[in-house]
Structures are given as structure tokens and as C-alpha cells.
Amino acid sequence: MKFSISSKDFKNIFAKGQSLKTGDLLFKYIESTSPQIGFVVSRKYGNAIQRNKFKRRCREIFYEKIKQGMKLQVVIIPKDKNIDYSEIKKSINSFLGESSRV
């Protein structure tokens, strides 16, 4: 199963998707045929090591919580620098727990 989002899908998510802000993360999402995740992490967040660390952490938490029937494309955008692992986990759990998205 492919979990990454193509550039065409990114454009679609930003044009037609819904937004939800939880903690220091902004989630843009749209219904899809399979679960996918993408990231938009600005250089303002930090150097490449910090940006990649953030993406790895989000990916890990997202894959732990993902369910078989989940049909969303999600883009995660950090709104603050150096977000703690526990804050990332809390925000993703909150996002996945909202309404009936899972």
C-alpha cells in the first residue's frame, strides 16, 4: 500500500480539503480511496535534520493509529518550531479522534 501523496493530490487537498488545527499542528485532509500522509515543513522550522525528524515522528504515530478502513489523505503542517514528541502524538490522536474520520 502506497502511503505518500503525489503533487497532484497535494494541490487537490489544498484546493478542496478541510482544515483542522490541534495544538501546534495544522491538518489538511480530504476523503480518498486509501490512507495517505504528506508533510509541508518550512525551512523556518529548522535545518534538514530537524524537519526530517518531525516527519519521521509524525509518520510513526500516524501508522500506529491508522485503521484498515481509513480513507483519508492528510497533510500535516507544523505551526511552531521544535514540537515535542508527546505534543505531536496528542495532536494526531486528537485529529484522528475528531468526529468519524477513523
Q: Quick check: pTM over 0.85?
A: no
Q: Is residue 61 part of a domain?
A: yes
pLDDT value at residue 69 = 58
What does DSSP say about strands 25-31 and 72-78: parallel, antiparallel, or unpaired?
A: antiparallel
Q: Is residue 1 part of a domain?
A: no
User: pLDDT of 19-70, one tens digit each?
Assistant: 888 888 888 888 888 788 888 888 888 899 999 999 999 888 888 877 655 6
pLDDT value at residue 99 = 44
User: pLDDT of 4-13, one tens digit each?
Assistant: 788 888 888 8
Q: Which domain holds residue 73?
A: 7-97
DSSP SS3 for 89: helix
Query: Quick one: which of 61, 60, 12 has its CA closest to 32?
Result: 12
In the predicted model, is pLDDT for residue 75 greater than 90? no
**How far apart are the C-alpha atoms of 80 and 24, rounded to whole Å?**
6
Residue type, 101: R
DSSP SS3 for 11: helix
* Domain count within the chain: 1
pLDDT value at residue 86 = 92
CATH number at residue 68: 3.30.230.10
Query: Quick one: which of 68, 71, 76 has its CA closest to 94?
Result: 76
CA dihedral 84, 74, 5, 64 (to 10 degrees): 60
